[in-house]
Amino acid sequence: MRKRTGYLLRRGKIWYAAWTLSGKKFMRSTGKTNRREAEVELHRIMEPFVAGDEVSTLQNIAARIEGRKAELVRLEDERNPPLRLDQAWEAYVDSATRPDSGDYTLKDYGRHLAAFAAWCKERHPAAAALRDVSAAMASEYAAHLVKRKLSGNRYNKAVSALDLVFRILKEPGRLDANPWEKIQRKQVVSQSRRELTVDELRTVIGTATGELKLLFALGIYTGLRLSDCATLRWAEVDLPRGLIRRIPSKTARRRPRPVIVPIHPVLGGMLAETPPKARGEYVLPESAVAYQKDTSRFSRRIQDHFKACGVTTHKPGTGPGTSKRAVVEVGFHSMRHSFVSLCREANAPLSVVESIVGHSSVAMTQHYSHTSEAAARAAVLSLPPVIGDTPALPPARTMIDAAAVRALAETLNAQNWKKVRAELMGL
């Protein structure tokens, strides 16, 4: 469209502004007799028409650009179809830019994405591709999670998992923006497990059977987490020396430092019941398979045993029969709390207890890394024998003081060899 600039006409001494619009001619007096002043007035009169033409022109250009972009997107989609939601997980797992997560964490991410994809298929069936997911849909799904009354921790895990997957797949999914990046996380109030009393421990372990009994014994006498107890390998158990050497699964990826736990005589007796020829890869082969297949189901089995023993697992005033979400107060992690609590009640040094259970802080781990084996063994031996009918393991061999041996050896000669030998045999 041609810009309207108008022109000047002189009638008498006065200059007039003239222009044509939609086939009609218009004229207006500038009130000026000087041509230069009249041109300035003409520009002022025509300015609205010029601006209108510019707006129309720009709008037309913008429309053509958007149309061209849509055409290019369509052609690109034909050559390279957009990443679909049902392809997203495989693409995420294969991505070289994703974080190196553990198997359990990876499965957790997959479950959250699958849950969202199922919800999306039901609520927004037209959104088949990853880039079809809008910020409004992400907000709607977040509201859906809130209505399900998820805990703050579970809600945050779901949103964070989806945020991570969409962020990693932003380029292959051809996303303009990550729809999850502005979804706010919830404040999490930490709920700690309580330790069990000695009577509760006796009941829980005493009534358990099969691998469950040994699983609970491992928990109370080592302080290891459920993942480490359920998947403990015989290669990590040194019965002759009375030690368990295990790299905690929680810190294995970022800090593969093992914890060394002395074996309590009660636990040692239970472990020794398995003949050497019957010791395969795992100490608890059935539990290892069940835990790795479905961690939640395995944990529910443990919770059911607590309930069968009359141990209330939920915080009073929460859970079934109340209007509040269940707050779990007792679980397998209570064994770990009980281990620490009983060791401390027996006046075991805090540094010794921390070195046995392992600490999440790098600084704390370094601080506690020089705990002696004797101190750790004394701490474990202070635990009460909650299983009274289990045969005890013979005392572990005492480590010889190399410095003392060396000092005696340096004094050895033809005259005193019998005396030195006696002293060495005493060591």
Mean pLDDT (whole number) for 202-231: 90
Mean pLDDT (whole number) for 346-353: 71
pLDDT at 364: 41
Mean pLDDT score across all residues of the chain? 80
Q: How far is 339 from 384, CA to CA, in rounded Å?
A: 10
pLDDT cut 70: percent of the chain above it: 77
Q: Are 260 and 247 in contact (CB under 8 A)?
A: no
CATH superfamily of 203-381: Intergrase catalytic core (1.10.443.10)
pLDDT at 369: 37
Cβ within 8 Å of residue 358, ≥6 positions away:
248, 251, 257, 259, 365
Please determine, for residue 75, whether its predicted confidence score (pLDDT) is greater than 90: no
Instruction: Mean pLDDT check: name the lowest of 31-45, 82-96, 218-232, 392-406.
Output: 392-406
Mean pLDDT (whole number) for 179-190: 82
> What confidence tens digit (pLDDT) does each residue in 301-340 have?
998 998 898 887 777 766 666 666 666 778 888 888 888 8
Domains of the chain, by residue range, sit at 7-78, 85-168, 203-381, 400-427
Mean pLDDT (whole number) for 353-379: 56
pLDDT at 21: 73
> What confidence tens digit (pLDDT) does each residue in 117-144 have?
999 999 999 888 888 899 999 999 999 9
Please determine, for residue 116, whether its predicted confidence score (pLDDT) is greater than 90: yes
Opening angle at CA 287, ends 282 and 292, nearest 5: 90
Beta bridge partners of 244: 237, 261
The larger pLDDT score, comparing residue 66 to residue 136, is at 136
**What angle, rounded to 10 degrees, do the helices at 210-222 and 333-345 form?**
40
The larger pLDDT score, comparing residue 123 to residue 74, is at 123
Mean pLDDT (whole number) for 178-190: 83
Q: How far is 248 from 236, CA to CA, in rounded Å?
A: 12
* The dihedral sign for the CA sequence 294, 295, 298, 299: negative
Which pTM does this prediction carry?
0.55
Mean pLDDT (whole number) for 75-102: 83
The larger pLDDT score, comparing residue 77 to residue 413, is at 413
Cβ atoms < 10 Å from Cβ of 426? 7
Please determine, for residue 27, whether its predicted confidence score (pLDDT) is greater than 60: yes
pLDDT at 418: 75
